[in-house]
């Protein structure tokens, strides 16, 4: 039994948390102008969904398990792997405060990181590593 | 319209319960009476008045109705035999809720199950936006379990065991 969560809060907390983990720029979505930077991250939020259960009560829902994708960009492959490892070490299996505790940070039950693949984009001359992170959010 | 006359989505079904800590369950006759009886337990969102009931936020309404019940006999060495239909028992319902320790209905069910003596009237209401068909029965709570699987919300599961073969009734609002 719970109300629908606000994905805007997720977005702000993802931005805060990633910026807290790494010391390189963190952006929501990709902009090719950033390809001039030697290393940076982008993220995209998706799969925001609380299961809905029977009846006319709109608040009869379960927990949200949204996923955000992290794209790690770097001019050299080694940096990309090490940046990704930093995220993996910090986020995978993490349970605790997520986001800025002074504003809209919330207690996260679990963060689950899945390293998808690494690749190279010849057009922008950047190595790239793609990770998915699923959040179990209490409601 | 006397009854809902359309094919319904299963999603239209809800579960309601008497909200008193020590309720007086409806009599057999009252379980088959909509006005001022079953209607009081069903909330306004499902076509009732909700003055004496509250919703139980269940994931899905399990199959409800009556169990199959027969008395059968056979004669050794012969093909003779028969199944004789007997008074069917009201079926038990295995319920799963997303566990919310602040929900008053779940807390009451937990107390009932812990105490083990409370008989309460429960109603399954099926509502099409205008009319309601309700299945009311008296039951006790048993088999409470909490399943905290790490890949989804925690579940609160329990079984409603109906009391007495005749303590159920069908009603409609019109």
Alpha-carbon gap, residue A86 to A110, rounded angstroms: 17
Question: Would you state the pLDDT for residue B6?
Answer: 84
State whether residue B54 sits within 8 Å of chain A by CB. no
For the purposes of burial, counting CB atoms within 10 Å of the CB of B165, is it exposed (0-12), middle (13-18) or buried (19 or more)?
A: middle
Q: Token pair 């379980």 is at which residue?
A: B31
Nearest to A60 among B12, B46, B57 (CB): B57
pLDDT, tens digit, 9 for 90 and up, residues B157-172: 999 999 976 788 999 9
Interacting residues of B156 by C-beta distance below 8 A, sequence separation 6+: B96, B97, B98, B99, B106, B110, B144, B145, B146
Of B11, B45, B153, the CB nearest to A54: B11
Query: What DSSP element (H or E) covers B89?
Result: none
pLDDT at A38: 92
pLDDT, residue B63, reads: 93
Across the range B100-113, mean pLDDT stands at 95
Binary contact (A57, B100; C-beta < 8 A) = no
What's the mean pLDDT in B31-54? 95
Q: Which tens digit of pLDDT belongs to each residue from B46-64?
A: 999 999 999 999 999 999 9
Q: Which of residues 72-101 of B touch A (CB under 8 A)?
A: 97-98, 100
* Residue B64 and residue B124 in contact, taking contact as beta carbons nearer than 8 Å: yes
Q: Chain B residue with minimal CA distance to A61?
A: B98
pTM of the model: 0.87
List of residues 6+ apart from A33 with CB closer than 8 A: none
- B12 neighbourhood in chain A, CB within 8 Å: 54-56
Residues in Cβ contact with B97 at an 8 Å cutoff, skipping those fewer than 6 apart: A1, B56, B57, B58, B59, B103, B106, B155, B156, B157
For the segment B116-157, what is each residue's pLDDT rounded down to a tens digit? 999 999 999 999 999 999 999 999 999 999 999 998 899 999
Interchain pair A62, B55: CB under 8 A: no
User: What distance in Å separates the CA atoms of residue B112 and residue B114, rounded to the nearest whole number?
Assistant: 5
* Model ipTM value: 0.84
The pLDDT tens digits along chain A (139 residues) read 578 999 999 999 999 999 999 999 999 887 777 778 899 999 999 999 999 999 999 999 999 999 999 999 999 999 999 999 999 999 999 999 999 999 999 999 999 999 999 999 998 899 999 999 999 999 8
Q: Determine the pLDDT at residue B78.
A: 77
Which chain B residues have a beta carbon less than 8 Å from that of A55? 11-15, 45-46, 55, 57-58
């Amino acid at each position: 039994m719970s109300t629908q969560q606000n994905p805007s809060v997720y977005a702000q907390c993802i931005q805060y948390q990633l910026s807290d983990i790494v010391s390189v720029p963190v952006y929501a979505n990709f902009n090719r102008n950033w390809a001039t930077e030697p290393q940076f991250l982008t993220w995209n939020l998706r799969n925001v969904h609380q299961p809905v259960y029977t009846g006319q009560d709109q608040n009869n829902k379960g927990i949200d398990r949204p996923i955000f994708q992290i794209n790690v960009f770097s001019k050299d492959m080694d940096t990309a792997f090490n940046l990704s490892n930093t995220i993996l070490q910090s986020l995978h299996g993490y349970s605790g405060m997520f986001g800025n505790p002074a504003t809209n940070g919330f207690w996260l039950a679990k963060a689950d990181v899945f390293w998808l693949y690494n690749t190279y984009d010849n057009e922008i001359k950047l190595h790239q590593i793609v990770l998915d992170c699923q959040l179990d959010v209490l409601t | 319209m006397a009854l809902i006359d359309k094919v319904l989505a299963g999603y239209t079904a809800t579960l309601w319960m008497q909200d008193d800590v020590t309720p007086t369950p409806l009599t057999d006759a009252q379980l088959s009476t909509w006005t001022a009886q079953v209607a009081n337990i069903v909330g306004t969102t499902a076509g009732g008045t909700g003055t004496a009931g509250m919703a139980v936020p269940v994931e899905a309404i399990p199959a409800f109705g009556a169990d199959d019940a027969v008395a059968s006999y056979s004669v050794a060495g012969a093909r003779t035999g028969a199944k004789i239909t007997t008074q069917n028992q009201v079926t038990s319902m295995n319920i799963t809720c997303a566990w919310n320790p602040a929900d008053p209905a779940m807390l009451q069910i937990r107390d009932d199950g812990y105490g083990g003596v409370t008989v309460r009237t429960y109603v399954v209401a099926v509502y099409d936006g205008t009319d309601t068909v309700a299945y009311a029965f008296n039951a006790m709570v048993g088999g409470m379990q909490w399943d905290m699987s790490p890949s989804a919300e925690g579940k609160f599961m329990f079984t409603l065991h109906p009391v007495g073969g005749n303590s159920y009734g069908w009603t409609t609002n019109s």
